[in-house]
Amino acid sequence: MSDDAFVTHRSLLFTVAYEMLGSAADAEDVLQESWLRWSAVDQGQVRDPRAYLVRIVTRQALNQLRTVSRRREDYVGEWLPEPLLTSPDVADDVELAESVSMAMLTVLETLGPTERAVFVLREVFDVPYDEIADAVDKTPAAVRQIAHRAKDHVAARRPRVQVDPTEQEQVLERFLTAVNTGDLQGLMDVLAPDVVSVADGGGKVRGAARRPIVGAAKLAAYLLGGMAKFGVQFVATPAWVNGAHGARVEVDGELVGAISVTVEAGRITRIYSVANPDKLARLDAEAALTR
């Protein structure tokens, strides 16, 4: 193990930054800036390197979050988090897996920057209130109020049903088989009647829906009609995406997208598909996530 605390805790720091930003690229920028600041510190005087580093990363992530939030206002179509290829070990930590899921990261997007930082540090990483207060420049009393408000906000919007990973895998396999074979009835059987599909093409992908598609019939027609219209054959293969069973999508052997799903009562209720080529770089190697 390295003697450098930054190297030792790098996976944790990346996870904190990613959960605050929803972007691996932005998280890496935050880590680079944080390392520069850490390297300029008299590290021998730091009593708790882990807490100190989390504080540095949080402050840099807050700065980045305020910058990218303005950039995202001009984003073409729906904005989704950057998908990560993760190891099965991430799924074993149920709380970590939920916190990095597409569904949860999308909910976190509805929080303000400070609320998001407080929620992530408290609910995911169990950071003490006084340490969070130092990181976000608030009093501990204010942080407690923010944490309570953010927790209520997230609870009202997060998926309410916890699904067994085996069930998720089986439902996803049925969906992928139907998509890969063009089986309309198979799609209708596995999609919830009020399914919602959100796609992120960033304005760079031909045929990517710029608004959510609601309803099984509409979605099935869009998926199968798109393959016929553009003369392409999607090949979707299972993969661990953001701590859960998801899929990589290829056309002619080239990666063109990633899929995450939410499952309830044996059917898919929500689909998140990311096709923006700028967001697919993290699907070739597993991201190291930890708490």
Mean pLDDT of 181-201: 96
Those residues with Cβ within 8 angstroms of residue 163's Cβ, 6 or more apart along the chain or in another chain: 263, 264
Say if residues 89 and 97 touch (Cβ distance below 8 Å). no
pLDDT tens profile 56-112: 999 999 999 988 877 788 889 999 999 999 999 999 999 999 999 999 999 999 999
Q: What is the pTM of this model?
A: 0.93
Q: How would residue 136 be classed by pLDDT, with cut points 50, 70 and 90?
A: very high
Task: Give first-to-last CA distance, the chain, whole Å.
Answer: 17
Mean pLDDT of 154-159: 89
The strand order across the sheet containing 244-251 reads 213-214, 191-200, 267-274, 254-264, 244-251, 235-241
Q: How would residue 247 be classed by pLDDT, with cut points 50, 70 and 90?
A: very high
Q: How would residue 239 be classed by pLDDT, with cut points 50, 70 and 90?
A: very high
Flag whether pLDDT at 224 surpasses 90.
no
